[in-house]
Chains A and B, each alone.
Chain A
Amino acid sequence: MPEVKPTTVASENPQTYEDVHVHAVYDEIAPHFSSTRYKPWPIIAAFLSSLPTGSVGVDLGTGNGKYLPLPSDRPGAVWTIGLDRSINLLKLAKRAGDVDREVVWGDVLDNPWRRGAFDYAISIATIHHLATPERRKVAVQRVLEAICPSHGRALIYVWAIEQDELSKRNIPTDADEDRRHTASTDQAKGQDVFVPWVLAQPAEAKPKTRRREKSGQARTPEPAEAGAEAQQAPPKVFNRYYHMFAKGELCELVADAAKELGLTLGDTSSGDVRETGQSSKEHGVQIVQDGWERSNYYVELRRWER
């Protein structure tokens, strides 16, 4: 089984780095990748089920559009538009759940929307592909700017250093040391890694065994081992770049992103209530919940004004 390898982003230009180690990879592995992505995670499904009918949202880094058909108990009650940088994944997302979906070829660092146009936004397993802390912060800001300042809700998932026990993934031990090392400092620090995706050459591939995830068992999000059984032609290995988040790092990122946008962090009662008579509104963002699920950290946000 391929291992996760620690790496460092040694490039003057993070865009070029991501082009090579993220975007080119997804475009190449799209169909195979897509065949492994069909099971929504419970907290994301619950979030989408909790939205009022008529809500419109955006899925930033939609991939094959796995979340576009949700909520499954009320199909069509909300409308999620998918955005991604991989055109080959978007072509699949376009027909996610065998229904016409709306998708946009774009970058999560950009903001091709009317400000605050959406009732909700989700960004699942995407922001961890950005190669610098600054870029990850901008991506969180784009999420906050896309949703309505008075009631917009958001859900963000990123990959965690802390991996599920069920995960077959081999996390390099220096990641643990790294974490311990930084635990004493106030900045939570993640780990940059390469995660190999092994792609059997289609012509010669002869997978011997039925793929494990078809059994419907809970599994880790990124099955890098798929296709490893393929014989004959040597499989092609693509190294995807990930920043694995440390405990606390995602919430810190949200706090930094919010602060820079002039948003108060907390619920509507936090901070100093401004004097009445002041004309401009105060804007804020609340962390509704945060936690760890299946090798990922997540945070749910709600914007407010008063």
Chain B
Amino acid sequence: MLLEACSLCYSVLYSSILAVLAGMVRLITHNLLACHAKGCTSNNFPLQFQDAAIELRDAEFNADFLRGFLPRIEWPALVGAARQLGDASLPAEQPEMLDDEFLQKLHHVLLEIHVEEGAMVCPNCKHVYPISNGIPNMLLAEHEIG
């Protein structure tokens, strides 16, 4: 009875376990982020990784998702970011043929490389967005907001 009732204590415990497991920035997100510091409106993408600590973790492969998402990707930015993180498996040009081998590589680059610590730096204004516990901090100080 008491155990069942104590959902509050349970959730506190649960959350501290999760905090340890908390994951990372992946290239799918990196491909969508851009610098938004005051006045920084051009050449503000893609952000450059700095001191990136990476971890590889398996993710569920979904070929249909990848095929649908492909047109939304900024391809050169993805290829460049992957190379920065030590993965040169993607071709410089998006291939016409989306065979399984290519989709597996794309899957790995987009969803299985996690940047846990480090930062992302704007190529234009050099603003630094820290990554801590795998969560990128995109908040700006009040005077930096555009």
Contact = CB atoms under 8 A, between A and B. Distances in A.
Interface of A: 15, 30-32, 34-35, 52-56, 58, 75-79, 81, 83, 85, 87-88, 90-92, 94-95, 99-107, 109-115, 117-119, 200, 202, 205, 207-211, 214, 226-227, 230
B6 A76 contact: no
Nearest to A202: B12
Contacts of B18: 91-92, 94-95
A227 B35 CA distance: 42
B19 to A, nearest CB: 5
B34 A114 contact: yes
Given A58-B32, A94-B21, 6 more contacts: A35-B7, A35-B11, A76-B60, A91-B15, A112-B33, A210-B4
14 contacts: A30-B15, A35-B7, A55-B69, A91-B18, A94-B135, A95-B18, A99-B60, A100-B114, A105-B135, A105-B136, A110-B36, A112-B36, A113-B33, A202-B12
Contacts of B15: 30-31, 34, 88, 91-92
Contacts of A106: 138-139
Contacts, number: 142
- Interface SS of A by simple majority: loop
A35 B8 CA distance: 7
Interface in B20-70: 21-26, 28-29, 32-36, 45, 57, 59-60, 62, 64-70
B48 to A, nearest CB: 15
Contact of B65 (A78, A99, A104, A209): A78
Interface of B: 4-12, 14-15, 18-19, 21-26, 28-29, 32-36, 45, 57, 59-60, 62, 64-70, 72, 74, 114, 133-140, 142, 145
A90 to B, nearest CB: 6
A182 to B, nearest CB: 32
Given A35-B8, A112-B33, A205-B9, A54 B28 contact: no
B59 A56 contact: no
Contact of B139 (A55, A81, A105, A209): A105
A207 B9 CA distance: 10
A104 B22 contact: no
